[in-house]
A = this chain, B = another copy of it.
Amino acid sequence: MRDFTLTQEQIIATCAPVRTQGATSEKIRGLQSLDKAQAGDVSFLGNSAYEAQVTTSNASILILPKDFQAAPKEGQLQLFCTNASLAFARVCGLVERQLYPKALPGIHPSAIVDRDAQVHPDAHIGALCVIGAHAQVHKGATLHAGVYIGAYASVGAGTELKPQVKVMEDCVIGERCIVHAGAVIGSDGYGFEFNAGKFEKVPQIGNVIVESDVEIGANTTVDRARFGSTRIGAGSKLDNLVQIAHNVNIGCNCLLVAQTGIAGSSILEDYVVMGGQSGVGGHVRVGAQTQVAAQSAVLSSVPGKQKLSGTPAQELRDTYRQEVLKRKLPELNKRVSEIEEQLKKIPQK
């Protein structure tokens, strides 16, 4: 990491601790885990598994859960916070703003902006961006180098599009979204009609609507609807290399871990969590707050608040129990063979 410095006052203002203990005269110049922290570092207890490391940590500032009991070392400041992980994340945010300042407003001379596009004067359009006719880029949006915005597409206020993101024609990105490098929003849905021995393309003339506060990972693909819209609900977070098919409707505040795939027309209600490399079949509804384990696949609709795993997905505890027994199949098989042997020795009626 490049050099940075934070003052004690900045950190305290950001963490808003319910109480403090000890004191330090160090400027903060590093972020570290408890065991590796040295003078000048800020560290935190985010996971109770590491509690034992608190008292031996050499960090100058420790961010701790509000009820945690520990005496500070000499020259150590302890900040007790309602959510220590969140407080530490916000301190990281201070560093981020120092090392990665927001790009300045303006259009790079190498960008190619259609005369009929509307770019807010407070937006940043990076080098070699291409912006189509009637596209809109709203206030404070940042388009890094090589972003493509199709005709009639729209990028909301405060949204950041990383290098070479592609937002295809007519698609809408909400406010305060982050789309990572190489992601494609609005590629054609996968639809064909079989006719005379060949697959004839079904035109995909809908769009994608990404609501506000959504994050979309690198090289993820979100297909436009056949007609109507594919939707990514407000606050949902998609990891890298995720595939969202046409006409999918992702609710609000869903988490889709890397390499997940959602097939056409399926619905994820709010707060659904999909583990890595998991999937949802076509035309399926996944109820709110349901969690699907990594590499599992939901092939028919399920209610909310489930914890599912397996292909096809079932209750996690059932999968676990069956998996244990599957691993004992050699033993079960042997038991049955022994019973058969024993039965041979028993006189039959």
Q: Is the CB of A321 within 8 A of B330?
A: yes
Q: Is the CB of B1 within 8 A of A207?
A: yes
User: How far is B128's CA from A152's CA once the two chains are assembled, in angstroms?
Assistant: 20
Choose among B86, B180, B326 the residue that contacts A322 (Cβ–Cβ < 8 A).
B326
Decide if A339 is an interface residue (CB 8 Å cutoff). Answer: yes
Which positions 330-349 of chain A face chain B at CB distance < 8 Å? 330, 332-333, 335-336, 339-340, 342-343, 345-349
Copies per assembly: 3
Closest to A241 in B: B243
Choose among B199, B228, B237, B276 the residue that contacts A263 (Cβ–Cβ < 8 A).
B276
Decide if A110 is an interface residue (CB 8 Å cutoff). Answer: yes
B-binding segment of A5-13, A53-61, A67-75, A164-172: A164-172
Query: Which B residues touch A207, using CB under 8 A?
Result: 1
Closest to A229 in B: B1
Which positions 162-185 of chain A face chain B at CB distance < 8 Å? 162-164, 166, 168-170, 178, 180-182, 184
Closest to A349 in B: B345
Decide if A93 is an interface residue (CB 8 Å cutoff). Answer: yes
Q: Is the CB of A146 within 8 A of B170?
A: no
Which positions 70-99 of chain A face chain B at CB distance < 8 Å? 83, 85-86, 89, 92-93, 95-96, 99
Say how far A274's CB is from chain B's closest CB, in angstroms.
12
B-binding segment of A18-26, A116-124, A252-260, A300-308: A252-260
Q: Is the CB of B198 within 8 A of A188?
A: no
Q: Given A164-B164, A349-B347, are A243 and B258 neighbors across the interface (CB < 8 Å)?
A: yes
Choose among B96, B197, B217, B329 the residue that contacts A190 (Cβ–Cβ < 8 A).
B217
Choose among B93, B148, B336 the residue that contacts A332 (Cβ–Cβ < 8 A).
B336
Decide if A156 is an interface residue (CB 8 Å cutoff). Answer: no
Interface centre among A86, A145, A318, A321 (most CB of B within 10 A): A145
Query: Which B residues touch A187, using CB under 8 A?
Result: 162, 180-181, 217-218, 240
Q: Is the CB of B261 within 8 A of A279?
A: no
Decide if A104 is an interface residue (CB 8 Å cutoff). Answer: no
Say how far A169's CB is from chain B's closest CB, in angstroms.
7
Q: Is the CB of B329 within 8 A of A325?
A: yes
Q: Is the CB of A322 within 8 A of B329?
A: yes
Q: Given A197-B253, A221-B218, are A279 and B279 neighbors across the interface (CB < 8 Å)?
A: no
Closest to A257 in B: B190
Q: Given A239-B190, A279-B277, are A221 and B221 neighbors across the interface (CB < 8 Å)?
A: no
Chain A: residues with CB nearer than 8 A to chain B? 1-2, 31-32, 83, 85-86, 89, 92-93, 95-96, 99-100, 108, 110, 112, 126-128, 130, 145-146, 148, 150, 152, 162-164, 166, 168-170, 178, 180-182, 184, 187-188, 190-193, 195, 197-203, 205-207, 213, 215, 217-219, 221, 223, 226-228, 235, 237, 239-241, 243, 245, 253, 255, 257-259, 261, 263, 276-277, 279, 281, 294-295, 297, 299, 311-312, 314, 318, 321-323, 325-330, 332-333, 335-336, 339-340, 342-343, 345-349
* 27 A-B residue pairings within 8 Å (CB atoms): A1-B170, A83-B193, A92-B203, A148-B181, A150-B163, A164-B164, A180-B188, A182-B221, A187-B240, A190-B217, A192-B237, A198-B253, A199-B255, A219-B221, A221-B241, A223-B240, A259-B259, A277-B279, A294-B297, A295-B297, A321-B329, A322-B327, A322-B330, A335-B336, A336-B339, A339-B343, A342-B348
